[in-house]
Amino acid sequence: MRADGTVRTVVTGVGVAAPNGIGTEAYWAATLAGRSGIAPTTRYDASGYPLRLAGEVPDFEAEKHIPSRLVPQTDHGTRLSLYAADEALRDSALDPAGLDPYGMGVATASSMGGFEFGQRELQNLWSKGGRFVSAYQSFAWFYAVNTGQISIRHGLRGSSNTVVTDAAGGLDALGNARRQIRKGTTAMLTGGVDGALCPLGLAGHLSSGAMSTGSRADRAFLPFAEDAPGQVPGEGGAFLVLEDAASARRRGAREYGELAGYAATFDAAPQASGQAGAGLVRAIRRALDDARTAPEDVDVVFADAAGVPELDRAESRALGEVFGPGGVPVTAPKSMTGRLFAGGASLDLATALLALRDGTIPHTANVARPGPGHPIDLVTGEPRAADLRRALVVARGRGGFNAAAVVRRDV
């Protein structure tokens, strides 16, 4: 029990599907080795689009990981979600069948939905006619579909939901999961695995005006660099098993860490367009308060790392305001995956837990040093060994969403 009377929640399972690694340990090894998953787009002919690079999850053979019955009815992103959720559940060693029938639920985040599937069926509709549209289009495109498919596959009947807050979603889903556990649910499978790397999704991404149009994979996404050229979209993310700490303790579960704090704020227009930082500062301070953690007790920050100069400046200003200039190591391993939308913050949170576990801060790839407008201690070049007890994860979603979460290793 926490001092405020609410139950403690701990992460007992992690599953990852990322552009630079399928499976938690493969991803973590690639990240520490500085291997990037950003490469020329292969899944569709990108020659007619201004965006040529993407962080695609490579060599994912759905038939190997997903039951045959689910293959025809799922978008690529849902298949990746099912993979990561399955890994997280196995990793936790928690058997949902041993819980109350409503003892475990699913909380996901999504930015768009199964757009690749949806695009194909819309093309069928307009080129061939309604009878050529899959019956599964009824749900496969939908942004809540991952929650539903995961719930059905694992028989998780507890309170379940989906949030759509763009790239803040991974943390907002986690906050949602914690809320359900505080209301009495034993455990939640939570996270975001997102993407929509298809022309229909791309049309949405391009409308942000923030996308990087370069063709060199190692120069296209450079968060906090002086010459940051914009964002590269990617796909993937992570799932976590968040569990009532008493339950985890009872069954002797391995704990990655406690979700010690979470907060979300919203910047209304016109601040939202530049995400000026006031809302972000409030989100970070509230998450720290929630975790009863002073800024000086935070050992590392996993940044939102937009890769867009104005947004990067807003973030480093916010971090400077809370922690003081260079007051805490800051990193952006998403420099090796691209922006994963709702999956990005979930993967950052998983990465933060692995960093706490191994006492290693993964570095920000391809960025030699932060630009002059960024008074932050950016971890670059190679991973940095450190005694890590508390990590802060920061995430922003297009349109004004800010979220922050604090995870703590048992100290």
Whichever of 50 and 67 has its CB closer to other proteins, that residue is 67
Measured between alpha carbons, how far is 258 from 317 in angstroms, rounded to an integer? 28
Whichever of 153 and 182 has its CB closer to other proteins, that residue is 153
Measured between alpha carbons, how far is 41 from 51 in angstroms, rounded to an integer? 9
Whichever of 49 and 139 has its CB closer to other proteins, that residue is 139
Whichever of 69 and 250 has its CB closer to other proteins, that residue is 69
Whichever of 79 and 363 has its CB closer to other proteins, that residue is 79
Handedness of CA 222, 228, 232, 234 (dihedral sign): positive
Identify the burial level of 364 via C-beta atoms within 10 angstroms of its C-beta, where 0-12 means exposed, 13-18 middle and 19 or more buried: buried
Instruction: Output the CA–CA distances (angstroms, integers) from residue 27 to 36, 105, 259, in the order listed.
Output: 10, 26, 22
Query: Under a CB-based contact definition with an 8 Å cutoff, are residues 140 and 112 in contact?
Result: no
Tokens of 3: 């001092």
Whichever of 102 and 132 has its CB closer to other proteins, that residue is 132
Whichever of 118 and 370 has its CB closer to other proteins, that residue is 118
CB of 133 to other proteins, least distance (A): 8
Give the bridge partners for 17, in sequence order.
22, 237
Whichever of 72 and 98 has its CB closer to other proteins, that residue is 72
CB of 189 to other proteins, least distance (A): 22
Tokens of 186: 């034993």
Measured between alpha carbons, how far is 302 from 210 in angstroms, rounded to an integer? 21
Whichever of 26 and 152 has its CB closer to other proteins, that residue is 152
CB of 259 to other proteins, least distance (A): 35
CB of 157 to other proteins, least distance (A): 18
Interface with other proteins (CB under 8 A)? 67-73, 131-132, 134-136, 138
Query: Under a CB-based contact definition with an 8 Å cutoff, are residues 364 and 331 in contact?
Result: yes
Q: Look up residue 80 and give its amino acid.
A: L
CB of 156 to other proteins, least distance (A): 19
CB of 93 to other proteins, least distance (A): 23
CB of 172 to other proteins, least distance (A): 30
CB of 136 to other proteins, least distance (A): 6
CB of 161 to other proteins, least distance (A): 23
